[in-house]
Structure 1
Amino acid sequence: MVMALFNDFFRGRKVLITGHTGFKGSWLTLWLHRLGADITGISLLPQTQPNLFSLLNIESLCQHHVCDIRDQPALATLINKVKPEIVFHLAAQPLVRASYREPIETFSTNVMGTANLLEALRSSATVKSVVMVTTDKVYQNQEVERPYQEDDRLGGHDPYSASKAASELIIDCYRNSFLAEQGIALASARAGNVIGGGDWSDDRLIPDAIRAWQNKQPLNIRRPESIRPWQHVLEPLFGYMKLAHDLYHQPELSGAFNFGPETSEAATVRHVISTAQQIYSSGDVIWHDVPEGVHEAGLLTLDTTKSHGMLNIRSLWDLNETLKRTINWYSEHENGTTAQALCEADIAAYEALL
């Protein structure tokens, strides 16, 4: 059981999560609550309707604060009041296509929001380990088959990727200049292409598919041959928790970590949607052979050797299991099963494999 694995590490411990109203943040808050953590959440209000935060009643599982991470004085005041030991930073503008429409908001949130949080942590006497979640898109993408390693060059064609690459530089700066000497272990977690029940964001593959098929409309696929390292949401979340746990006891682990499936599990958008279509048992797709819209990376895979070796973690659900659980989550929810029951069942099934 995960309790035994973490030796009850999170029970009663003060944990701060930024972005707890989002898709991944809601799942993480629910899971840490199961582990007995004393959670404080800082975030904007949910950005979609419906949203997992409301369906899971996350507000009842934590001390919920609406705060914009771009407001440095307000953020610092909250952190000084909460006095957390563990920090998970997930708050972000997380969408590539939205970043083209709103580049300044993307940079201010992802770059200055990250800097504001790190600056607030400088005055903390309680924080011991910090996991800053960025993305697998921080690497300067060369469209090559070799998976990216943590020491590869950072970059970003689109505003979202560039903002996250910039935040990695800020994280490294604060670790070396300030936080390491204060005894605060700081790591960045690079993961992306996360799927699972309860995501209703725009311009994400599975949510777009579910919306289209539930409304009896065809799904338009812009870039069917794009390759990504797809993974169930519980995979990186377990990695973040394991990283926070290990950093607490081994601050020398501070640095960047990739989280993703085995390289062989990377797959094209065409394969993912074709498999999802079979599981859903209906739904039309319109494939566009010529890529449409703004630039997006065509080929992206991650080398997860470091997280495998240093954190001793492996992916537990392959792509087929991930898609089966994700599509079934939405189908069962549409048929009346509560989000609470569905999420608890997925977490319990994942924990049983640990």
Structure 2
Amino acid sequence: MSDTPRRALITGITGQDGSYLAELLLSKGYQVHGLIRRSSTFNTGRIDHLYQDPHDPEARLFLHYGDLTDASRLVTLIEKIHPDEVYHLAAQSHVRVSFDEPEFTGNTTGVGTTRLLEAIRMVGVDCRFYQASSSEMFGATPPPQNEDTPFYPRSPYGAAKVYGYWIARNYREGHNLFAVNGILFNHESPRRGETFVTRKIARAAARIARGEEKFVYLGNLDAIRDWGYAPEYVEGMWRMLQADEPTDYVLATGTAYTVRDFVQHCFAHVNLKWEDHVKFDESYLRPTEVDALIGDPAKAHDILGWKAQTMPDQLARIMVDHELGAMT
């Protein structure tokens, strides 16, 4: 039996999910390769604690410059790395921003998936492929939503993710690639980007509690979401690629909380009355709103043995506590 570690390629390794997934795979003995975009400033803050000297013979984490819009570079990297598993997490992933940049969102989040799948097909590497699908694909379809629920995206981001979902299935069915779609409902953590609503709320609660701010400006407080804890969800991603057969899975908590509920939990944790500090700003509203996303994760539980452990009220406390600690 070979002692050679399994090789995984993670696109979007510098993001929330990518950083937690890299930690998980390294803990399991993988050699991890990450795709990062070249920019004028470093954007590796979430994975700096994982840094390993690439010249060290014991190193198992390697970063490669590349972009989902550069097909030839993707072919070169797939050929060089020859991964056993590919986790495709990279995307323009901000739903509100996708309305301002619909073409860019489609080119990266949608067509970028095709470029990566085609690179795998062209090189002929025998690997397993994970596509990061999203609950935003369901959009206006009433909850609860599962693997058989029709898609009705309500944003350029959601539409691009539907394209990515179906192209992954096409490569599974047409090219016999072990490709799975992980349809993940909202999953958050202290590593969430500061412009995403949960991180924005948790950060504001901590800063207001410390007297550094007075107000936070938010949009639709009535939107219902199914919020889970990101480290648990990347475990689900890994389990999908260890299954005997490729198929698609919903990962969710199965709970329904409004944005207002999340605000209340965050502010209550620092003994503040949220109504005194939250103001409405219509600029944060989407042109088309998604009223309710509530996932049914029964299939993932039955086949993968996966179940969310952290509920949204606990998640709110975790995120606020991190913000309080980060400021001391």
TM-score relative to the length of structure 1: 0.81
Shift of 1:320: 2.4
**CA distance 1:92–1:164, change in 2 (3 Å):** same
Q: How does 1:72-83 map to 2 (within 5 A)?
A: 72-83=71-82
Q: How does 1:277-316 map to 2 (within 5 A)?
A: 277-282=267-272, 285-288=277-280, 292-316=285-309
Structure 2 gap ranges (5+): 54-59
**CA distance 1:229–1:48, change in 2 (3 Å):** farther
- What is the rounded CA distance, in whole Å, between the counterparts of 1:177 and 1:241 in structure 2? 24
**CA distance 1:257–1:191, change in 2 (3 Å):** same
**CA distance 1:231–1:308, change in 2 (3 Å):** same
| 2:203/2:323 contact within 8 Å kept | no
Match of 2:182 in 1: 189
Whether 1:158 aligns to 2:159 is no
Match of 1:350 in 2: none
Secondary structure at the counterpart of residue 53 of structure 1: coil
Query: Which residue identity lines up with residue 267 of structure 1 in the other structure?
Result: Y
- What is the rounded CA distance, in whole Å, between the counterparts of 2:256 and 2:296 in structure 1? 11
- What is the rounded CA distance, in whole Å, between the counterparts of 2:99 and 2:222 in structure 1? 22
**CA distance 1:58–1:266, change in 2 (3 Å):** farther
- What is the rounded CA distance, in whole Å, between the counterparts of 1:171 and 1:231 in structure 2? 25
Structure 1 gap ranges (5+): 1-9, 336-354
**Stretch moving more, 116-125 or 159-168:** 116-125
Q: How does 1:108-257 map to 2 (within 5 A)?
A: 108-142=107-141, 144=142, 146-178=143-175, 180=176, 184-202=177-195, 204-213=196-205, 214=207, 215-246=212-243, 250=244, 252=245, 254-257=246-249
Match of 1:352 in 2: none
Identity rate of aligned residues, in percent? 24
Query: Which residue identity lines up with residue 256 of structure 2 in the other structure?
Result: A
Match of 2:252 in 1: 260
- What is the rounded CA distance, in whole Å, between the counterparts of 1:256 and 1:266 in structure 2? 22
Paired residue total: 312
- What is the rounded CA distance, in whole Å, between the counterparts of 2:109 and 2:293 in structure 1? 21
Shift of 1:78: 0.5
Q: How does 1:85-124 map to 2 (within 5 A)?
A: 85-124=84-123
| 1:224/1:289 contact within 8 Å kept | no
1:137-171 superposed Cα distances (whole Å, 9 cap, x missing partner) = 112523x3x31121222231210111101111111
| 1:229/1:302 contact within 8 Å kept | yes
Secondary structure at the counterpart of residue 17 of structure 1: strand
